[in-house]
Amino acid sequence: MSADRVPAPALDVDALIDDPATGIIVCCGAGGVGKTTTSAALALRAAERGRTVVVLTIDPARRLAQAMGIAELDNTPRPVEGVDPAAGGRLDAMMLDMKRTFDEVVESQASPEKARQILDNPFYQVLSSSFAGTQEYMAMEKLGQIHAAAQADDTYDLIVVDTPPSRSALDFLDAPERLSRFLDGRFIRLMLAPARGPARLMTAGLGIVTSALTRILGAQVLRDLQTFVAAIDTVFGGFRQRAQRTYALLQDERTAFLVVAAPEPDALREAAYFVERLGEDRMPFAGLVVNRASVAPAGDLSADEAAGAADRLQRSGAGVDDHAPTAGLLRLHADQVRLVERETRLRSGFAASHPHVATTVVAALAGDVHDLDGLRRVGDLLAE
C-alpha cells in the first residue's frame, strides 16, 4: 500500500470523554496548532455530556477566557456560564498563575516567618517568575492540587490540561527533575554549607570561594542568595515529593495524553516526537488530533482537470472578460484539491510511521472561535 493511502485508526473522542475511568486529559503539541481551543472544546463537550470538568490552561494567550465568556481567568476555577444543563454536567475554567502557585506552595510548606523570608527574597522573586521550567513545574503542582481537591470532595471527575507550545510542552514532564538538579547542584550545595553545618565546615577553600563570590556579586547579593537557598531548602523536599506524585498521576491509566498537530510537515514532525517521547516515559497516550485540516471542494473535478479547463478558457480568445471569473474559480478549485491531497499524503505518511496511533481529523473553520457555539462546533468535529 502506498504511503498516501495508509489509513490511521480512528480516535473515538466521545468514548474517551464519556469513560468515567478517564480522569485527566492532557493536550500537548507544537505552537499554533490550536491546543487551547481543542482543550476548551473537549472540556465543554465533556461537560455537556454529563461530566463535571475543569480546564486548566498554561498558554499565556487569553483566547480561552474570551471563548468561554469569562472576562479574566486566574488561578481559581471559575464557572463557565451557558453550558447546557440537560446532561447534568458542569464546566469550570482557570489559567495558571505561575508565581501565585509557587507562593501558595511556599506558604503551605513553611512557617509564616519562613514563608515571608522566602517570598521577600529577590532570588525567589526571579525563580518564581522567570526561571526556565518554573511554569511547567507549577503546572504540575496546580494539577496535583486540583486532583487532590477533587479526590477529597468530588469537585471534578475530569481535568483537561492545556500545555505550553512546541517541545517545551514536554517540559511539563521534565520540569521537576530540572528544578531538582538546580537546587541539588554543586553551587547551591556550596551556598548551603555554612547554613547546614558547623563552623568547621567553612574550610579555607570555601572561604576563598566565598570571598571571590563576594567580590563578583557583592556582599548583599551573596547574602540574599545564601538566605534564599537556606530558606528554600527547608521546603523543597515537599516540592519534590508532590512532583513525584503528580508524575505518577500522569503515568496512571486514568490519564490520557492527546497530541494536537496541524497538517503541516513541521507540526507532524513535532507530533512524532511527542508520541515517541510519551512512549519512552510510559505515559498513557490516547491519540492524535489533526487540527485545521483543509476541506475538499464539492464535486469530482480533479486538480488537473480544473487547471486544464481554466487554461482552455483563457486560450479561447472570445469572451475573455466573461470567462475570467470562471477560470479564476477553476484555479481556486485546483489549488484547494492539491492542498487537500498534500495534507492527505502528510497524514498518511505519519500513519505509515506510527500505524497504531488513533487519529481524528478536525476540519478548518471559516473564522476564529470566539464563543461557546464555536467551541461546540469544534467539539462536534473532534467527535466525527
Question: For residue range 54-106, what is the model confidence (pLDDT) as tens digits?
Answer: 999 876 566 677 778 777 778 889 999 999 989 899 999 988 887 888 888 88
Write out pLDDT tens, residues 173-214. 676 566 656 555 444 555 445 444 444 444 444 344 444 444
Q: Which helix (H) or strand (E) holds 264?
A: none
pLDDT band at 337 (very low <50, low <70, confident <90, very high): confident
- Residues sharing a CB contact under 8 Å with residue 143, sequence separation 6 or more, in sequence order: 24, 56, 159, 161, 246, 249
Q: Is 90 exceeded by the pLDDT of residue 115? A: no
Any bridge partners for residue 347, and if so which?
Answer: none
Q: What is the pLDDT of residue 369?
A: 84
Any bridge partners for residue 79, and if so which?
Answer: 92
Q: Cα–chain-centroid distance for residue 359? A: 18
For 46-111, the DSSP string reads HHTTT-EEEEEE--S--HHHHHTT-S---SS-EEPTT--GGG--EEEEEE--HHHHHHHHHHHHS-
pLDDT band at 133 (very low <50, low <70, confident <90, very high): low
Q: What is the pLDDT of residue 189?
A: 53
Which of the residue ranges 116-125, 329-338, 357-366 has the most confident prediction, judged by mean pLDDT?
Answer: 357-366
pLDDT band at 307 (very low <50, low <70, confident <90, very high): confident
Classify residue 289 by its DSSP letter. Answer: E
Q: What is the pLDDT of residue 104?
A: 85
Q: Is 90 exceeded by the pLDDT of residue 285? A: yes
Per residue, what are the HEC states of 344-369? HHHHHHHHHHCCCCCEEEEECCCCCC
Query: Does residue 299 sit in helix, strand or coil?
Result: coil
pLDDT band at 215 (very low <50, low <70, confident <90, very high): very low
Domains and CATH numbers, the chain: 3-188+233-298+346-383 (3.40.50.300), 303-339 (no CATH)
| Pairwise CA distance, residues 252 & 23, whole Å | 10
Q: What angle separates helix 35-47 from helix 372-383, to the nearest 10 degrees?
A: 90
Pick 255 or 211 by higher pLDDT: 255
Backbone phi and psi for residue 18, each to the nearest 5 degrees, phi listed first: -80, -20
- Residues sharing a CB contact under 8 Å with residue 103, sequence separation 6 or more, in sequence order: 119, 128
Q: What is the pLDDT of residue 60?
A: 55
Q: 287 near 11, Cβ under 8 Å?
A: yes
Mean pLDDT across 289-298: 90
Mean pLDDT across 208-222: 46
Q: What is the pLDDT of residue 55?
A: 94
Backbone phi and psi for residue 347, each to the nearest 5 degrees, phi listed first: -65, -40
Q: Is 90 exceeded by the pLDDT of residue 261? A: yes
Angle (nearest 5°) at CA 214 between 210 and 219: 120
Q: What angle separates helix 265-280 from helix 320-353, to the nearest 10 degrees?
A: 20
Classify residue 131 by its DSSP letter. Answer: S
Grid cell at residue 43: 472540556
